[in-house]
Amino acid sequence: MLDYSALRALAAVVQTGSFEKAAGLLNVTPSAVSQRVKNLEERMGTALVVRGNPCIATEQGGWVCRHVENVGLLERDLYEHLPSLAPSKELIERLTVHVATNADSLGTWFMTALSTYAKMSNNLIDVVIDDENHTSEWLQRGRVIAALTGIEKQVQGCRRIALGSMRYRATASPEFVKRHFSVGVNSDTLRTAPALNFNQKDKLQNRWIAQVFRDDVACPTHFLPSTQAFVEASIAGMGWGMNPEYLIRHHLQAGALVELIPDQPLDVSLFWQVNKLAADRFAILTDLVSHAAEQHLVG
């Protein structure tokens, strides 16, 4: 039989990042939290949390925390059908909903859905950022209950909804274009003009080049892991990059940015995938994501 007081102590440490904050959350002493976690680790024969600032779960500890969250979901369902079993409202723990998304969606339209859900629900939200072609891996590993992904293939055990496409445009400042593309934008000039990439997983620039020029070009690259920094760096003439149309429309109209090749956008299809076991419980979140996508993505 699992000791759920110990399991919840571990989950609280991981959620808050410290034994002291976990103690305040659970209304017990820090030593009590430490002892519960220690006993749980001894029983399971493995470390469950890396002590530090902040404390983080080990791989095994992460699985335990997700089990605690799943139990919490089941308890919520039980309380809805049998309210007489529920503790007082103040004692019902808030659940944390883990989702994965790409940074560009979070920085443009996805926050609309998350913020609305947060106001409608008592749940907390934990967002993981990854490339749209890799967020599905978080679902496959059971690290999140839902993911915004660029992978059309349905993840096993999940429901998939096609949302539309995020439109990107290859843009740079007029000064950058004059300096690097005075003889035109082609495979040769792209090999010397610095590009902007989010990280090593970001392949949007390569996809646009392949789409427009049917070529594979290795560009000198600046790495900037920030959606807003991408826009600012483009305007400042640091490099050219694939910027979400939603963020740069007014910069294009004002002339602060120009397209490298006019009317050659790159459309990236996005899908919402949610664990089937949790899909019904988070149907409201799915509806909000779908509605926000309708407002901001292209068909």
Instruction: List the domains of the chain with CATH numbers.
Output: 166-268 (3.40.190.10)
Other beta carbons within 10 Å of 192: 10
Contact 245, 167 (CB under 8 A): yes
100: tokens are: 């994965």
- The least confident of 230-239, 264-273, 276-285 is 276-285
Task: Say how far apart CA 102 and CA 274 lie, in whole Å.
Answer: 15
Question: For residue 68, what pLDDT is reported?
Answer: 83
Q: Is this model's pTM higher than 0.85 or not?
A: no
Answer with the residue of higher pLDDT: 72 or 145: 145
Largest Cα–Cα separation, the chain: 76
Question: For residue 71, what pLDDT is reported?
Answer: 80
Q: What percent of the chain has pLDDT over 90?
A: 74
Question: For residue 91, what pLDDT is reported?
Answer: 44
Q: What is the mean pLDDT of the chain?
A: 92
Contact 100, 135 (CB under 8 A): yes
Other beta carbons within 10 Å of 125: 15
Work out the average pLDDT over 273-295. 94
Question: For residue 90, what pLDDT is reported?
Answer: 46
- Residue 72 predicted with pLDDT over 80: no
**Strand positions, DSSP E, the chain:** 49-50, 56-57, 96-101, 124-129, 146-149, 158-172, 195-197, 221-223, 241-244, 258-259, 266-275
Work out the average pLDDT over 4-14. 89
pLDDT per position as a tens digit, 218-250:
999 999 999 999 999 999 999 999 999 999 999
